[in-house]
Structure 1
Amino acid sequence: MKQLLLVVLTALVFSQTASAQKKIWDETEAQKQERMQWWTDARFGMFIHWGLYAQAARHEWVKKNERISDEDYQKYFEIFNPDLFDPADWACKAKAAGMKYAVITTKHHEGFNMFDSEFTDYKVTNTPYGKDIIKEWVDAFRAEGLGIGFYYSLIDWHHPEYTIDRVHPMSAKTQEEYDELNKDRDMSIYRDYLKNQVREILTNYGKIDILWLDYSFPGKFGKGREDWGSVDLMKMVRELQPGILVNDRADLKDYAGGWDFTTPEQFKVQKWPEEDGVKIPWETCQTFSGSWGYFRDEYTWKDNKQLLVLLIESVSKGGNLLLNVGPTARGTFDYRADKALAEMGEWMKYNSRSIYGCTQAPENFEVPANTLLTYNPETNRLYVHLLDYPLKNFLMRDYGDKIKYAQFLHDASEIKIGKPYGHWVQQETGENDVNLLLPVNKPNVEIPVIEIFLK
């Protein structure tokens, strides 16, 4: 019995010690919610993938995909000169599209720095362009009142001490091959480099709202928290920028304070993501087409309705959308991206009230067929997004005691509320069902929105 008690007590102490070790910093759930509230309300942001790969114009992973050597990739560094780069124009386009924040690549996997770092010569200030792009970008986007986010790649295909792994351009097949490739490389030196650079970007550009680290891939020939020094890295991040929001790709999902939101990539979630049965903050990152970096010959571009549904559906499940632009090597947006942003902006101009500050509708609200619902808990208004415009009668089941007033959001025109009528309808409806009398012709809006004032 004593032995069993000792085992139990030892396990309890170990559990408490492990629990203490699994914490980056102390923060209550209420404090976290307050820290994240601006982002939760914003719902819509711009991702920007920009680097030397824009000159190859065939995917940001071109160095890996084509197994290009450092020597052959160097030509892009030697001629990089985005002479048409106008960050103020970018910021205006993001704001006009309805975006509230933006995240830009300070360094992608290729290892090239878009900022002026003291820890490397492989940086934008040593190219023909000669200026700190990140500083110019931050100043312009901050001037438009947009939240500032930095993407930083944990992976680095250029640093001489970064050990070769399965996603590296020099990747191999066997342990023996990796041992040979890495015999003169010291990951601890790269780990210091990584930490020093993150310190730079969180120190030299004022208040930073989001840090987007990318990415961990534990397992065979992979890398995780130990390789990055993620625990110490995140402690430094929280100390330097206590208000910052951090994604979940540093392999610290089991650490309190090790992450703030999860990041489904190029994926539409089926429901609000959960951890241990609890809904968690989330943001899906998506592209206009199939590539993050500029890809001249890529043609799978989503149309306006697809993009709007991505945004609305994310909010309807309690999440955000981070939508990517891959600028050209001259510093302009692809004409197809410009078109997509303008079209989304036109919709957002009249319908953003169904996005900002909104979330998933309460569970007691039935979702009508071919619609998406969002809900603003502050104003107590429900938004019905008509993905497939109905005929004149729009039946809403069990809403009779919920609706005070209904209108189209885009022009605030009243929608009359009536009882279901007609022999066939009456056979299938209940006492608390209502009928919204819509115009026969669809309004001149890609996805019309009904704004319902709830009782």
Structure 2
Amino acid sequence: MKFILFIAVWMLGQMICAQAIYEDERYVPETDPVVLQKLEQWQDLKFGLLMHWGHYSQWGIVESWSICAEDEDWCRRPHEDYVAYKEAYHNLQKTFDPVSFDPEKWALAAENAGMKYVVFTTKHHDGFSMFDSKYTDYKVTSPDCPFHTNPKANITKEVFDAFRAKGLWAGAYFSKPDWHNENYWWSNFATPDRNVNYDPEAYPERWENFVQFTHNQIMELMTDYGDVDILWLDGGWVAKKSPEFIREWYGRKMENNTSGFIKAQIVNQDIRMDELVDKAREKQPGLIVVDRAVHGKNQNYLTPENRVPEHSLPYPWESCIISGGGWSHTPDATYMSGREGVHLLVDIVAKGGNLLLNVAPGPDGTWQQGAYDLLEEMGEWMQVNSEAIYETRAIAPFKIGNVALTQKNNREIYCIYMADEGESRMPSKIVVPQIQPVPGAKVSLLGSDVALKWKPQGDGFVIDIPAGLRKSPPSRYAWSFKVSEIE
């Protein structure tokens, strides 16, 4: 698509600024051609579903973190007896019985919303496995869990099967730390923070047992659960760290620390990720691996958490965002509006990313109605406008005011006008600054067969909107204009 771009210097400045803001999120490109092809396909999908679910949903609390002894306001316990609280938390396994679990209903809602992949929490930091692992009894299929007699007790398998049946990719969220495993949190010592609570170098055999446990569980998921497209690893503090890195981190940490108290330490926790990834890809060729927050080749895309980058980023990325409440089940959660959801998706896609939207099932195995309502509204919008979302890439200047840009095949440009709150009628003119179509280009509105008139204006162009379209636009919240050359 031959567009006149007037702001090359501005674009370069934006890219430099973006890299400066996210310089801590360095990216090492993948070299495996099969993985690169898969990653390119993933970038076409744009919209996915994340689900945090475990026995903690019974209490309506933040997942896992309340049993971590760190003093953070978002993970404090409701009373002071840590030992008793942790025991009660672990005993949630004995009352977890989500009898209304219906993954086919979730998969249908995701499909209708336009989602193309799912990432499901097979195990969070607390160590409770939502799959039938033979390496632990702390799992949903254990005789200690009342749900184990249910035909759908192997929850991860049921979720993957249901979503794959609707054409969605399957992604396995897996926590590298395991706070229930004796080889990670050893009962011989206290648990001061999120890390392993002993020195792996002082007890190498115990640490090796944990490494093997982690490898074995992940290989179960890679072997026994059908096609897995994404391995989404959390707990980035479990990673190989050099002595030089540790010394540098403590030096920075203490520089401005007047009290001397450090909330979380840095420990070398090498689980031989390169070896693990090689084994996983033998079972799942082309597997996308997301070793979150660990700089290196095993982080195939980056995952800004509950935030959207200010600018386009120069590598594959995905914002994981809470749709309502928290990451885990929140009673009577308030969900984002349909307008907020649509604008969030458009903003992220215009900057070259994917949206992974989190919905948290409740203790009975159901979603709250607010989640269904949100996905239904986003699906209605996607039925009209998905052409401007799927298989697109970012194009500078990405977003100007309330107009976002995407491009496809270097031939079509989509200008997405994001309506203001309460703006249900289209304006008579839509101004798109800083880009300009070639003379004779065709401009149309997705969802309408009316050819629209346009004219240059300054360094951009103006689209005239007929009265009929203004009164009855084809979608709510945002309108997508396609600009293409006349053949």
Give the TM-score of the pair, scaled to structure 2: 0.75
Residue 436 of structure 1 corresponds to which residue in structure 2? Answer: 463
Which one of the candidate residues 93, 100, 119 is aligned to 2:116? Answer: 100
Residue 406 of structure 2 corresponds to which residue in structure 1? Answer: 374
Structure 1 residue 80 and structure 2 residue 114: aligned? no
Instruction: Return the offset for 1:69.
Output: 4.1
Contact kept, 8 Å, 2:350 with 2:399, in 1: the verdict is no
Structure 1 pair 57/184, CA: closer, same or farther in 2 (3 Å)? farther
CA distance in 1, matches of 2:194, 2:455: 68
Structure 2: which amino acid aligns with 1:331? G
Secondary structure of the 2:135 match is coil
Which one of the candidate residues 423, 427, 436 is aligned to 1:399? Answer: 436
Contact kept, 8 Å, 2:350 with 2:398, in 1: the verdict is no
CA distance in 2, matches of 1:105, 1:452: 41
Residue 128 of structure 1 corresponds to which residue in structure 2? Answer: 146
Residue 305 of structure 1 corresponds to which residue in structure 2? Answer: 339
Residue 280 of structure 1 corresponds to which residue in structure 2? Answer: 315
Structure 1: which amino acid aligns with 2:412? N
CA distance in 2, matches of 1:433, 1:128: 63
Structure 2: which amino acid aligns with 1:285? C
Which one of the candidate residues 292, 295, 308 is aligned to 1:268? Answer: 308
CA deviation profile, 1:35-89 (whole Å, cap 9, x unmatched): 2232111111100111011111122134332256442113311011111011111
Instruction: Return the offset for 1:405.
Output: 1.5
Contact kept, 8 Å, 1:63 with 1:169, in 2: the verdict is no
CA distance in 1, matches of 2:437, 2:215: 58
Secondary structure of the 1:228 match is coil
Structure 1: which amino acid aligns with 2:106? W
Which one of the candidate residues 121, 127, 141 is aligned to 1:111? Answer: 127
Q: Which deviates further from its counterpart, 372-381 or 303-312?
A: 372-381
Structure 2: which amino acid aligns with 1:85? F
CA distance in 1, matches of 2:178, 2:398: 48
CA distance in 2, matches of 1:157, 1:174: 9
Residue 446 of structure 2 corresponds to which residue in structure 1? Answer: 409
Which one of the candidate residues 208, 218, 226 is aligned to 1:188? Answer: 208
Q: How do 1:189-228 residues align onto structure 2 when only pairs under 5 Å count? A: 189-217=209-237, 221-222=264-265, 226-228=269-271
Structure 1 pair 172/25, CA: closer, same or farther in 2 (3 Å)? closer
CA deviation profile, 1:401-431 (whole Å, cap 9, x unmatched): 2662122213333322246xxxxxxxxx44x
Structure 1 pair 305/159, CA: closer, same or farther in 2 (3 Å)? same
CA deviation profile, 1:314-352 (whole Å, cap 9, x unmatched): 111111111111001111111111111111111111111
Structure 1 pair 76/287, CA: closer, same or farther in 2 (3 Å)? same
Moved over 6 A (4+): 182-185
Structure 2: which amino acid aligns with 1:200? E
Residue 58 of structure 2 corresponds to which residue in structure 1? Answer: 55
CA deviation profile, 1:339-386 (whole Å, cap 9, x unmatched): 11111111111111111001112x3x6855321111112652423333
Instruction: Return the offset for 1:396.
Output: 3.5
Contact kept, 8 Å, 2:193 with 2:265, in 1: the verdict is no
Q: Which of 1 and 2 has higher RCO (CA within 8 Å, sep 6+)?
A: 2
CA distance in 2, matches of 1:375, 1:25: 24
CA distance in 2, matches of 1:162, 1:173: 10
Contact kept, 8 Å, 1:163 with 1:186, in 2: the verdict is no
Secondary structure of the 2:231 match is strand
Structure 1 residue 36 and structure 2 residue 39: aligned? yes
**Which sections of structure 2, spanning at least 5 residues, go unmatched?**
1-27, 69-74, 240-245, 251-263
CA deviation profile, 1:216-254 (whole Å, cap 9, x unmatched): 127665567743332322222233222111113272x23
Which one of the candidate residues 285, 288, 295 is aligned to 1:242? Answer: 285
Residue 20 of structure 1 corresponds to which residue in structure 2? Answer: none
Contact kept, 8 Å, 2:411 with 2:485, in 1: the verdict is no
Residue 328 of structure 2 corresponds to which residue in structure 1? Answer: 293
Structure 2: which amino acid aligns with 1:287? I
Structure 1: which amino acid aligns with 2:288? L
Instruction: Return the offset for 1:393.
Output: 2.2
CA distance in 2, matches of 1:173, 1:304: 36
Structure 1 pair 117/24, CA: closer, same or farther in 2 (3 Å)? farther
Secondary structure of the 2:172 match is strand
CA distance in 1, matches of 2:59, 2:174: 21
CA deviation profile, 1:97-153 (whole Å, cap 9, x unmatched): 100110101101111011101101111111111121111112111111110110000
Contact kept, 8 Å, 2:177 with 2:195, in 1: the verdict is no
Structure 1 pair 51/231, CA: closer, same or farther in 2 (3 Å)? same
CA distance in 1, matches of 2:371, 2:236: 29
Secondary structure of the 1:260 match is coil
Instruction: Return the offset for 1:185.
Output: 9.9
Secondary structure of the 1:211 match is strand
Structure 2: which amino acid aligns with 1:201? L
Secondary structure of the 1:247 match is strand
Structure 1 residue 445 and structure 2 residue 469: aligned? no
Give the TM-score of the pair, scaled to structure 1: 0.80
Structure 1 pair 386/112, CA: closer, same or farther in 2 (3 Å)? same
CA distance in 2, matches of 1:302, 1:392: 29
Contact kept, 8 Å, 2:29 with 2:300, in 1: the verdict is no
Structure 1 pair 310/402, CA: closer, same or farther in 2 (3 Å)? farther
CA deviation profile, 1:236-295 (whole Å, cap 9, x unmatched): 2233222111113272x233xx2211111111112232xxxxx21111111113511101
